[in-house]
Amino acid sequence: MLLGLDGVEIGLIIVFVTLFAAILSGFPVAFAIGGAGVISFAIIAILDGQGLLIHQAIDTSSQAFKDVVASGFKPEAISVFTHPELPRAAYPVFPQGWEVALDRNISFVVNRMNERVFAGQSIETLLAVLMFVLMGITLERSRIADELLTKMANIFGPLPGGLAVSIVVVGAFLAASTGIVGATVVTMGLLALPTMLRNNYSPELATGVIAASGTLGQIIPPSIVIVLLGTLTGDIYSAAQEDRAQLAGCTDALTYLGEPAVVSVGTLFQAALLPGIMLALLYALYAFGFALLNPSKAPAIQADGSDGSYYGAGRNELLMWSLFLPIGALAVFLLSIEFNLVGSQSTIVDTYSDIMEGAALRTNVDPECAASMIELHGQEAWDAAVAQQAAIEAAGGVQESRQLSDEERAILLNEKLAVMSPIGTGIGLSALLLGVTLMLARAVDFTKDTRPLLIGGLGIVLILLCDILFISALTSPGVTTLMIAVPGLMALYGVKEALNRLFANDLIRIVFPPLVLIVAVLGSILGGITNPTPAAALGAGGAILLATARKLSSNELKVTPVLRISLAIVIMLVVGINFDMRLGPEMSLENILAFIVAFSAFIYTIFGIFWSCWYLYKEDILAPVVRETAKVTSMVFTILIGSQILNLVLISFGGEHYIQQFLRSFSNEWTAFFIVMLVLFILGFVLDFLEIIYIVIPIVGPVIYGGSFDPSWVTIMVAINLQTSFLTPPFGFALFYLRGVAPSHVTTRQIYQGVLPFVLIQLVGLGLLALFPQVVTIVPDLLK
């Protein structure tokens, strides 16, 4: 053996040394990865052809190996790491020659490109990357961060470390709206860093909090990192659990687990929500604690003189209208749902009977699989499943679905009407949102006339009374619209005045529009309404409208066109939800009219978005946005292609299998997971998150996703670990971005020192999630 090392080990060294050399050479990373794969394969092929690379594998023909198999070990679970005492046999790393390996790699590259890049199941999800990047860059070019930083500094400035806390708040907000790390760090570095230094903030704290807050976009949804991880982990987790089930003696993962082995990007977004907020809170707590311990290095900034009044009212009245009453309204709404005062008024009943549910677990399995399932689920769960199956068989087996008669459907409808809520969910939620809008409008200015707000509030009350007294679940949407028309106009009159007052407030004017966009995008994903790709398209369209509005405002023009387009979108959605839009000969007159209204709103929206694009293009905004979007997405897809070449090289000489055997040799899966996380953390010092996702995760994924850990938890742990790659010296991208805009008297050493506490906070966050995995899993479990 060359240098006393196994041939596969030498091959792995050659691949990773070549990869690091290619990346550090300064050649574009997107092309360096594929080039490293080609060069390393050539080197390994030459050495193998000279007989210098010998792989010492277990001799499967030996009697000792057969004895181990006879003792109960699966052949797939036996390796040189688990059974080093077994006899070895020498093989070349390319058993059939490098020519055959090359031919197979070329054919596999074509197949993988077709499966994972051009026409596979993941292509639709990958399109979300394009849309989210377009959304983020568009919002970043609208310069939302500039005004937001100023307002947040005014709010948090009087607190110890207030400027640092405001940076964290802005970073979290931009993470949910733009998610572009470089743009966020550069913007906050240009705007906030000089202000913090002028106010005697420590350069280490100032640079550290800016760099760390800028990376929150990697974990707070909609995160591109999570989208990219989701496209990989779905397939990896499914295949790994199938292998796990077969090793356990079961036929498939559905039988062994009792549920499908799937994980989606939408589920990962749900799982990432609380961990992202947790990290932002840890950053803010560190900044606040640092200021308390070192008040001279993070002083409070005195606010402008104030007499204690807030737009004509005292603090208590302000808190009542801006905080207590909205929270009370939300509590009343939730209690109304709990006590069935508000709920669904759908009158749709099934045409076919329900299929009888089977047992929680499949029990008609062989003894080996049954023993493995009992070990996984517990004896109690297995006994319950056996009892369920016995009851089903005693009842004549699982009953198939059948078509219900008109009488049976009428009975089901009457049963549904008997327990139906008096107020529909749509009207109840609309009343809550409109009411909170009126309350906040009152809070922002107590000097204005309250009569328009009172009229709006009266209209909301009348809408609710109409729904309770006169509108039933069987009332058609058209009649419902006519009955609430007058109180609806009263409510809209009040809300129109409320919005005028709200948008006169600088903070709300800056925060509210992108906040609505964030809620629309994330709400549609987290609520299961749609998958990430259409939601990303919605976000991109909304970002274009928002950028158009901000540009019109900066040019001192009215934003009425954008408001009309937004109103058309609302009309299209409301009509589409409440009316039957299916075309057919039996379509009623009111549904025909509703279709005409919705289709007209759709046409107006399409032309409005085209007009917005034309206006942004004329203002020289759209062209740079499209160019930057093309650069980022091209880089992602090129790295994806290059990483497939590198992965196939590893597979061709057994490198991937060798690493997986090493990780599986540990009896405790926590040990293997810790090793993987440590390797990812170390690689973060020299590799970007894209290289790690597309090169390392496919290698270690079958191990960390092939155990008992929740796949969402594993993915979020990996994502937070990858987030540190932006912060770890010497190659953290956030550090390079900040170094490029920081004043000359702020040294690179100070930037490195400032970011180290936040790297430790990342590790603390990982530790908390390891101790309390419910932080990750609670939101997906609640939304199932």
Residue 281 pLDDT: 94
**SS3 for 360?**
coil
Confidence of residue 608 (pLDDT cuts 50, 70, 90): very high
The percentage of residues in the chain with a pLDDT greater than 70, rounded to a whole number, is 93
pLDDT classification of 122: cutoffs 50, 70, 90:
low
Predicted structure pTM score: 0.84
568-586: average pLDDT: 85
pLDDT score for 302:
63
Q: Which DSSP category does 77 fall into?
A: G
653 phi and psi angles, rounded to 5 deg: -105, 15
What pLDDT, on the 0 to 100 scale, is given for residue 245? 92
Predicted pLDDT of residue 308: 45
Q: Which residue has the higher pLDDT, 631 or 732?
A: 631
Per cent of the chain over pLDDT 90 is 31
- Report the C-alpha gap between 525 and 268 in whole angstroms: 10
Residue 130: other Cβ atoms inside 10 A: 20
User: pLDDT tens digits for 236-245?
Assistant: 999 999 999 9
- Element containing residue 145 per DSSP (H, E): helix 144-156
Question: What is the pLDDT averaged over residues 273-300?
Answer: 91
Rounded mean pLDDT, 694-699: 89
**Per-residue confidence (pLDDT) for residue 531, from 0 to 100:** 80
The mean-pLDDT minimum among 6-10, 206-210, 531-535 falls in 531-535
**What's the average model confidence in pLDDT over 185-209?**
86
Among 425-429, 525-529, 758-762, the range scoring the smallest mean pLDDT is 525-529
Contacts of 139 (CB under 8 A, 6+ apart): 177, 178, 514, 543, 546, 547
* pLDDT of 721 above 80: yes
- Paired with 92 in beta bridges are 54
- Above 70 in pLDDT, residue 178? no
pLDDT band for position 605 (50/70/90)? very high
Q: What is the pLDDT of residue 2?
A: 59
What's the mean per-residue pLDDT of the chain? Answer: 85
Which one, of 170, 415, 139, lies nearest residue 283 by Cα?
170
Least confident of 142-156, 314-328, 434-448, 670-684: 142-156
- Structure tokens belonging to residue 19: 């990869």
- Which of 75-79, 180-184, 476-480, 590-594 is least confident? 180-184
CB under 8 Å to 78, separation ≥6 — which residues? 58, 65, 68, 69, 86
Mean pLDDT in residue range 454-459: 95
Q: Does pLDDT of 711 surpass 90?
A: yes
Q: What pLDDT, on a 0 to 100 scale, did the predictor assign at position 325?
A: 92
776 or 645: which leads in pLDDT:
776
For 742-778, the pLDDT digits (tens) are 888 888 889 999 999 999 999 999 999 999 999 999 9
Q: Quick one: which of 354, 389, 342, 373 has its CA closest to 245?
A: 373
HSE, CB side, 13 Å, CA atoms: give it for residue 723: 37
**What is the pLDDT at residue 307?**
45
Counting every residue written for the chain, the total comes to 784
**Given this model, what pLDDT does residue 305 score?**
45
pLDDT of the residue at 436: 92
Please tell me which residue, 646 or 125, carries the higher pLDDT value: 646
The H or E element that residue 91 is part of is: strand 88-92
Higher-confidence position of 626 and 522: 626
The mean per-residue pLDDT over the stretch 563-584 comes to 86
494 pLDDT above the threshold of 90: yes
pLDDT at 416 over 60: yes
Which residues make beta-bridge pairs with 91?
55
The string over 645-680, giving b where at least 16 C-beta atoms fall within 10 Å of a residue's C-beta and e elsewhere, is bbbbbbbbbbbbebbbbbbbbbeebeebbebbbebb
Query: pLDDT-derived band of residue 688, with 50, 70 and 90 as boundaries?
Result: confident
Q: What is the mean pLDDT of residues 270-280?
A: 92
Span 8-25, pLDDT tens digits: 999 999 998 998 888 878
Interaxial angle between packed helices 451-469 and 485-504, expressed in degrees from 0 to 180 and rounded to the nearest 10: 140
DSSP label at residue 324: I
Give the pLDDT confidence score for residue 132 in this predicted structure. Answer: 84
pLDDT at 3: 64
More confident residue, 351 or 621: 621
Neighbours of 316 (CB within 10 A): 8
State the SS3 of 650-671: HHHCCHHHHHHHHHHCCCCHHH
Partners of 393 in the beta sheet?
A: none
Residue 676: what pLDDT? Answer: 94
What interhelical angle do 367-377 and 379-394 show, nearest 10?
Answer: 120
Is the predicted pLDDT of residue 400 greater than 70, yes or no?
no
